[in-house]
Amino acid sequence: MVENDVVREMTVANIRDRPGAESVKVTFLESARFYELPRSHPSFERILGRLRQAKEQGRALKIRFPPPESGVIQDVEPLSTS
């Protein structure tokens, strides 16, 4: 994790995956903002898979972003169960 990154617990509301688009748009229940997952991200498939699974299961994830003004998703992790 980069020092300035922000980590928030968020629940996926919608994933907009349009063919030919440079990124997938993601919305979360906790925010009215549109976030982006660039297809060029080295972990694109892994992150998108986790986002889709969390949406289907209705569970929150830890979402990592660069500084708060950025809407680009850097990584996702399951919440700890402890």
Inter-CA distances, 36 with 2, 3, 79, 80, Å:
18, 21, 21, 24
Residue 56: in which H helix or E strand, if any? helix 44-57
List the domains of the chain with CATH numbers: 6-78 (2.40.50.340)
What is the spatial distance between Cα 36 and Cα 27, in angstroms, rounded to a whole number? 9
Tens of pLDDT, residue by residue, the chain (82 residues): 456 788 889 999 999 999 999 999 999 999 989 999 999 999 999 999 999 999 999 999 999 988 766 778 888 888 876 5
Cβ-contact 33, 71 below 8 angstroms: yes
- Who's near 67: CB < 8 A, 6+ residues apart? 4, 5, 6
Please indicate, yes or no, whether the overall pTM of this predicted structure exceeds 0.85: no
